[in-house]
Amino acid sequence: MAFMSSFEKGMEKVLVPIATKLNSQRHIVAIRDAFILSFPITMAGSLVLLLNFAILAPDGFIAKILFLHKLFPSLAEYQSVFIPVINGSTNILSMFIVFLVARNIAIELKADDLLSGITALSTFFIIYPPYQNVDGASLLTAQWLGAQGLFVALIVGLLVGEIFSRLSKSEKLQIKMPASVPPAVARTFKVLFPIIIITILFAIANAIINAVYPAGLHQLIYTVLQTPLKQLGTSSVWSIIILAFVSNLLWIFGIHGPNTIAAIREAMFTEANLENLNYVAANGSAWGAPYEISWAINDAFANYGGSGMTLGLLIAVFIVSRRKDYRDIGKLSLAPGLFNINEPIIFGLPVVLNPILIIPFVLAPIVNILIGWSAIHFGLIPPIAYSVPWTTPGPLIAFLGTGGNWLALVIGFVCLAVSTLIYLPFVMAANKAADVVQK
């Protein structure tokens, strides 16, 4: 106990300041919040695609259950109606991100956030590969608007957000209009010079980079930064295990783990998630999706009940706990736990700062990540390609994330059973410890 106490104090002194810094550093927060704000768009796109294939495709799991294709033989023809949804979500994600990052920076620096975001979007296209003439038509490649352009979007958003916010505060650069001028007009003139300066700066930078590296800035950033970071995330299951370990360890010490690792997690896995989604949009199936390793594995197999796989803890409490307080907290925590919200049990038992429960809280998700990844790696189930809301009950995330693969659902239940088994002896030990303390 003395060890635990000094460990807690060490965590408090070392980890809390780091987590606080990470969660309040404006560039990290701007990136994190940009992904959070764009999440509903990508999620909506993913869900529409999932429903599209599940209901309208002949081999879709809902279509099979309800015999839809026997009832409506021409149903598959309507799949094309919903395919363009991906063009309005993941395929233009970089445009959302560049706008939102610059906007978030401007909010933090108390500048004009809307015009900061618009300026960043404008700048993104200043450095974009030029129009190409094909058969008399001017065409702009869509290659860098989606997942592959994410890092350029992040960098441009950060730079423009910073430069715009600082320049727009300079009195010398502000054009002040008479009071009779409408506010919207006065607002735009106030930041006109900063926008002109940013536009010129990025046009010159773009010309220089194109002269040195003819493939262009997007290709350069993609090759030098985005690809290595993506490979760091997707080339080995250990990347997920380490991030999950850190996130859950922070959580048990009262630090918001998922928030703290959000920026690095998004940087490492977003492109892989989007590429998988694009694959299912093009092929109608998660089988053969390009990235078997992505953060989606954690959500699909190792986050039932919330961080620490606490749905397994709840079941273990119901199985072996003789203490009324444990069972009462378990009953209170079950409904939110089914939807992966675990505050009631985290603070109720409590799990936080609990020296006995820390081991299964960190261990169970790691074991489940390995189970889920093994099932994908050995071809038992396809990769988790569809994005599914994190509040979806437990094994259903694996089922829906694979496009309705029944074995994925079974493996999800296996993961739940394994996590329950891992928690069982620790719940018994926690019960005994609580009995001793009570006596």
Residues in contact with another protein by the rule CB under 8 A: 12, 16, 19-20, 22-24, 29, 251-257, 259-260, 343, 346-347, 350, 352-353
Count Cβ atoms below 10 Å from residue 187 Cβ, excluding itself. 14
Q: Do you find a cis peptide bond into 344, omega within 30 degrees of 0?
A: no
In the complex, what is the shortest distance from the CB of residue 342 to another protein, in angstroms, rounded to a whole number? 10
Q: How far is the CB of 17 from another protein (least distance, A)?
A: 9
Q: Give kind and range of the element (H or E) at residue 137.
A: strand 137-139
For residues 8 and 59, which CB has a smaller minimum distance to another protein in the complex? 8
Least separation in angstroms between CB 261 and another protein: 12
Q: Which of 151, 149, 147, 169 is nearest to 159 (CA)?
A: 151
Q: Please identify, using beta-carbon distances, which residue of 253 and 291 lies nearer to another protein.
A: 253
d(CA 135, CA 165): 42
For residue 50, give Cα distances in angstroms to 214, 284, 297, 354, 396. Answer: 40, 9, 17, 40, 13
Nearer to another protein, 159 or 345 (CB): 345
Q: Across-strand partners of 138?
A: 133
Which residue's CB is nearer to another protein, number 4 or number 196? 4
Closest separation in Å from C-beta 86 to another protein:
31
CB-nearer residue toward another protein: 149 or 330: 330
Beta-carbon contacts of residue 158 (< 8 Å; ≥ 6 apart)? 27, 30, 31, 101, 102, 105
| Closest CB to another protein among residues 254, 284 | 254
d(CA 166, CA 144): 28
Nearer to another protein by Cβ, of 314 and 424: the residue is: 314
Query: Which residue number, 320 or 352, has a Cβ lying nearer to another protein?
Result: 352
What is the smallest separation between the CB atom of 263 and another protein, expressed in angstroms?
12
Residue 301 Cβ, how far from another protein at the closest point, in Å? 22
List all residues 6 or more positions away from 155 whose beta carbon is below 8 Å from its beta carbon.
221
* Closest separation in Å from C-beta 203 to another protein: 36
Cα atoms in the 13 Å half-sphere on the side-chain side of 311: 28
Q: Quote the least distance from Cβ 16 to another protein, whole Å.
A: 6
Contacts with 105 (C-beta within 8 Å, 6 or more apart), sequence order: 26, 27, 30, 116, 157, 158, 161, 162, 165
User: Identity (one letter) of the amino acid at 223?
Assistant: T
Report the alpha-carbon distance of residue 395 to residue 418 in Å, rounded: 13
d(CA 26, CA 374): 38
| φ, ψ for residue 111, nearest 5 deg | -110, -175
Q: Which residue has the tokens 């030029």?
A: 130
CB of 23: closest distance to another protein in angstroms? 4
Closest CB to another protein among 53 and 251? 251
Backbone angles phi, psi at 372, to 5 degrees: -60, -45
User: Where do we find the tokens 């109606």?
Assistant: 81
